Structure 1
């Protein structure tokens, strides 16, 4: 598992990944979202596409990129307890130090980890998560469990913000034997 500094570096500097999922050392993940190849609709006569039919990049990718950048600015402001904003790049780079100073590293780690995973999914570097619509969360009893069946690490998690999984104070996560118990806990 990557540290908060490594997740931020993957997003803004170079995508290096970790031991289980190595990156390619290329541009940061957010830069990749912003630089997706142009999309064109073929012209009906086989010629060039008409003007205005070529959006600059994938609209979904641009939307996710802007959302993450906006959220990074907001998180940085909350961690610093300041109304002063910084550019998204500076804000994102400041999150690890700000989280440590505010003693909110676990919250920042969850948020930045979610951004990291979202970007990887949008770019096709990993598969999307799946809603386990028939499984009830063991902690909150709601049908709010999602999962991913990666070869090396199948896992699931509850997305209910009100879910509290005991000591962590965070929504439930399922791996190993606990994941098996979750799959046996089906709603009828």
Structure 2
């Protein structure tokens, strides 16, 4: 996983990725969300689409972009301890130093990593995660486990905020043999 500076750089400047999942060095991920090529809805077989029925961009992509920008402004305000807002771009750029000053780097990295992953999924650069509805988390015992079956690195994680796994106090993560144990832990 990238560090906080790398995640923010991928979102804003250039998508470089990390060692395991290199990016293409193209425009930042948020810029890609905002400037997707035109997408059209296909009319029913043999029918014609009425004029103006084709949206200029993917509404889902625009919605996610705006949501991340609003959350970035709010997070920046929290980290600075200020009621004043700044543009989303400046707010996102200010998050890494703000997290260091507030001594909240791990928490903020998880938040920005979630934004990063969401953008990759919306853009189709990564497959969506799936809910393991029949598996119980080994740490908290809840049915709150999601996973992704990437060819190079299958993994799963618990989304329960109250879940604490090990000394880190973070929700459980599953890879390798531990992922196998999780999939054997089913309830009827």
| 1:133-175 deviation line (CA, Å, top 9, x unaligned) | 1100011111010001112211100111121223222211111
Provide the rounded CA distance (Å) in 1 between the counterparts of 2:89 and 2:83.
Answer: 17
Is 1:140 the equivalent of 2:147? no
TM-score, normalized by length of structure 1? 0.93
| Counterpart position of 1:155 | 155
Offset at residue 63 of structure 1 (A): 0.7
Q: Is the 8 A contact 1:16 1:23 kept in 2?
A: yes
Shift of 1:26: 0.7
Give the TM-score normalised by the residue count of structure 2: 0.93
Q: What do the CA deviations read for 1:62-121 (whole angstroms, capped 9, x no partner)?
A: 011011111111111111111111111011111110011111000111001011011001
Judged with a 3 Å threshold, the aligned counterparts in structure 2 of structure 1 residues 186 and 41 are, in CA distance, closer, same or farther, namely closer
Q: How does 1:34-53 map to 2 (within 5 A)?
A: 34-41=34-41, 50-53=50-53
**CA RMSD in angstroms, aligned pairs only:** 1.8
Q: Could you tell me how far apart the structure 2 residues matched to 1:164 and 1:170 are?
A: 5
Distance 2:30 2:140 in 1: 34
- Aligned-pair distance for 1:40? 2.9
Aligned partner of 2:4 in structure 1 is: 4
Contact 1:14–1:26 (CA under 8 A) maintained in structure 2: yes
Aligned residues: 187
Q: Distance in 2 between matches of 1:127 and 1:162?
A: 27
Q: Map of 1:81-120 to 2, 5 A cutoff?
A: 81-120=81-120
Please tell me whether the aligned partners of residues 40 and 49 of structure 1 are also in contact (alpha carbons under 8 angstroms).
no
Deviation at 1:129, TM superposition (A): 0.6
In structure 1, C-alpha distance between the alignment counterparts of 2:71 and 2:127, rounded to whole Å: 23
Structure 1 runs of 4+ with >2 Å offset: 39-44, 48-52
Unaligned runs of 5+ in 2: none
> For residue 173 of structure 1, what is the aligned residue in structure 2?
173
**Residue in 2 aligned with 1:164?**
164
In 2: Cα distance, 1:177 partner to 1:98 partner: 37
For residue 51 of structure 1, report the CA deviation from its aligned partner: 4.0
